[in-house]
Every structure is written in C-alpha cells, then in structure tokens.
Amino acid sequence: MRTTMLRAGSLAGLTAVVLAASTTGAAAADDAVSGSAFGASAEVSLLPGVLKDLAGGKGITVETGKLAPSSSTGPASANVADVPLKGLVTAKAISSSVVSDSTSVAGKASIVEATLPVLAAVAGRTPTARLISARCGSADGKVVGSSDLAGVNLGRLGTIPAAAAPNTRLGIPGVVEVIVNEQNQRFDGGLDVTALHVKLLGGDVTGALGSGDIKLASVTCGPAKEHAPQAPPRPQGPGQVTVVPAGAPQTGDGSLAAEG
C-alpha cells in the first residue's frame, strides 16, 4: 500500500498556479462557471459542561458563519491566521481560492495545524490534524473532487483508512459522526466536497456533546461546459482521500513524499 503526502508548501505552490491561471481567462463574471470555497464553519448547540471555557461551562449556541470564503464572483481568495472557532476548533491558518472562466472552475480550501477541543471528551484526547484540504475542478464536461488529510489523530473516534473512499464515516453512534472526504452531487450537476464534516448528533445518550455541524475545508464546483480551451488544475485519481499519518517520511523540499 502506498500513501502520498501533500505538504503545506505544496498547497501554497498549487494556490499560486491556480491564481496565475485566472489572468489567462478573465471572462465576465456572469459568464463564468460557478464555484465557491470556505475554510471552516460551525453551527452547533452545546450541552452544559462540553467546553468549560465557554460561558462558564453552560450550554451555548455557536454560529461562526463561513470563515475565509471565496467564490467565482469574488473574492477570488481569502486567508485567516491563528483562528479560534469559538473554542470548538483552532487553526494556525485557514485559506480558500476559486478560479473560473466561461467554461471551467477550480476551487480549493485548506486548514493548517488544526485541533478540535470540542471532541476531546469523547475522543479521549484533543483531536489534531497537520493538514485538512479539499479541492474540486469542473472542465470539459466533468466535475471531480478530492480531499487531502495529513497527520490526523482522532483518538477513540477511529482511524482514517489510508485509501478512504468518499463519504467514509467514523465516530460514536448517537453522539458524533465524522465524515471524511464528504462528496455530494448537486441537483444541477455540480459537486460539493468537504474534507472533514463533524456532526454532533443530539443530547439523548450518555456522553452527548450537543447537536449541529462543523465543516472543515469545503468547496463547490458548478457543472462544467464541454470543450474547455484551458482547464484549471483538477484533482487526480478516483476521488479517494489521501491520508498520511503523523511521522510519515518527508522529502524535505516541499514535494510529495511516499511511504511503502
């Protein structure tokens, strides 16, 4: 089995390529294929005591909105540094970008050095991830998407398989569900991809946290038109998530590394 790592430096390089591509196809916004992306969002109602540093441990409702949003209608990119999502999630950096023209669109969202304190009680530790990233591409009549996860430790919630298929589910029944590489086909032919979707399932079972959703690295690409003259970068492979465990070998130059 072979696993592949996409390091944060590689993501930055890909972002530069995507943004440079926007200068070659500056079609009117009304003619562009639609796309959007955001780094993170949370809309949850927590039970008392879940996060003691919020509201003195009392029950609380948290709505963050979409952090670092971008779209085909602007802004083309967004970045936020040192983000505490109301104590639910922390991240060193969150970013997103979208490039589109009259026949194609590419979207990307990423989170670097994330922790999920909200899941600490059920995971037996504070879950961490070095990189959480999602991307989608729409061109030549095709819409594809994928996710990249590196250095992820979810504790008792489970281990993400190295070749996890889209919509892989982990968690604790009735308490929390973690969807890895969530992919949903839209009614119009477009595609939604969320690298990590945390769903709090309610308050009627032992160990319950509350209810609501936390989405980390999410992108949307609208349906593509045929025969794009210049297609933007698109994910490779069948859409499986790429997972690299903490401590995997690195090349040291920001390029892809492999582990046999």
Q: Which domain holds residue 110?
A: 3-23+30-246
Amino acid at 95: S
Q: How far is CA 219 from CA 2, 191, 207, 250, 259, in A?
A: 26, 8, 32, 27, 28
Percent of the residues in the chain that have a pLDDT greater than 70, as a whole number: 72
- Number of separate domains in the chain: 1
Domain membership of residue 254 (yes or no) is: no
Domain membership of residue 218 (yes or no) is: yes
Domain membership of residue 260 (yes or no) is: no
What is the pLDDT at residue 81?
95
Domain membership of residue 253 (yes or no) is: no
Domain membership of residue 150 (yes or no) is: yes
What is the pLDDT at residue 182?
98
Per-state percent for the chain, helix, strand, coil, to nearest 5: 15, 45, 40
pLDDT at 255 over 60: no
- Alpha carbons 50 and 210: distance in angstroms, whole number: 8
Domain membership of residue 166 (yes or no) is: yes
Domain membership of residue 259 (yes or no) is: no
Q: For 185-221, how does the pLDDT look when each residue is reduced to its tens digit (9 = 90+)?
A: 998 889 999 999 999 999 788 889 999 999 999 999 9
Domain membership of residue 258 (yes or no) is: no
pLDDT at 92 over 80: yes
- Alpha carbons 49 and 58: distance in angstroms, whole number: 6
* Residues 6+ away with beta carbon under 8 Å from 174: 201, 202, 204, 205, 208
- Alpha carbons 168 and 87: distance in angstroms, whole number: 26
